[in-house]
Structure 1
């Protein structure tokens, strides 16, 4: 099994955003206990919303760090999203590179890979794997 990894910048960015939102959420909730209720907007509800957004970003970071962007296994390329997308490598007819994306074209559909979010070493590994199947 080959894993095509996300870039470290993307993973660290997701982690930082999650921590930031959770911190702001906690501060707002604690601030709401000190100040009390405002007339229009409850600081506590905004803080809980911020905390929830941060918690979601940390889950997103964990998922991306654990699963990574793409997985190549048994001749099948899988994009690891909430609903994984798969393509059999032996069905690829052509590969087009345009605007930082790789389009894998089969008879039935297209499979788009965003190369901007892939770690450079993993991108080379991906291209080598794809070349193996295209040359056959």
Structure 2
């Protein structure tokens, strides 16, 4: 099994966003206890929303760090999303490169791979593996 990894920049960015949202959320919730005069919009409501967004970003970071972007296993390429997309490498008819994306085309389906978010070493490995099947 080969994993095509996300770039370290993408993973770090997701982690930074999660920390930022949770921190802002905590600050807003604490401010809502200090500043009681707010009548229009509750700072604690906004803070709880920010904390929720931060938790969601932590979940995305964890999922992407654990699963990674693509998995090559037993002649099948899996794009690891919430609903994974699979394509059998033996069924690929052509591979097209356009605007930083790889489009894998079979008789029935197409799978688009965003090469901008792949770690450079993994991208080389992916292209080498695809050449074996085409």
TM-score range normalised by the length of the shorter chain: over 0.9
The answer to whether the 8 Å contact 1:37/1:43 transfers is no
Q: CA deviation at 1:14?
A: 0.2
TM-score (structure 1 length as normaliser) = 0.97
C-alpha separation in 2, matches of 1:67 and 1:96: 25
Could you list the runs of 5+ residues in structure 2 that have no partner in the other structure? none
1:114 CA drift (Å): 0.3
Root-mean-square deviation (CA, aligned residues, Å) is 0.6
* Residues 55, 37 of structure 1: alpha-carbon distance in 2 compared, 3 angstrom cutoff: farther
1:45 aligns with 2:45: yes
- The number of residue pairs the alignment matches comes to 134
Aligned equivalent of 1:71: 71
Q: Secondary structure at the match of 1:93?
A: strand
| Unpaired stretches in structure 1, ≥5 consecutive residues | none
The alpha carbon displacement at 1:109 in A equals: 1.4
Residue 99 of structure 1: CA displacement? 0.2
Query: Could you give the per-residue CA deviations for residues 39-87 of structure 1, whole angstroms, max 9, x where no partner exists?
Result: 2100000000000000100110000000000000000000000000000
- TM-score, with length taken from structure 2: 0.99
Deviations 1:1-36 (A, max 9, x none): 000000000000000000000000000001101112
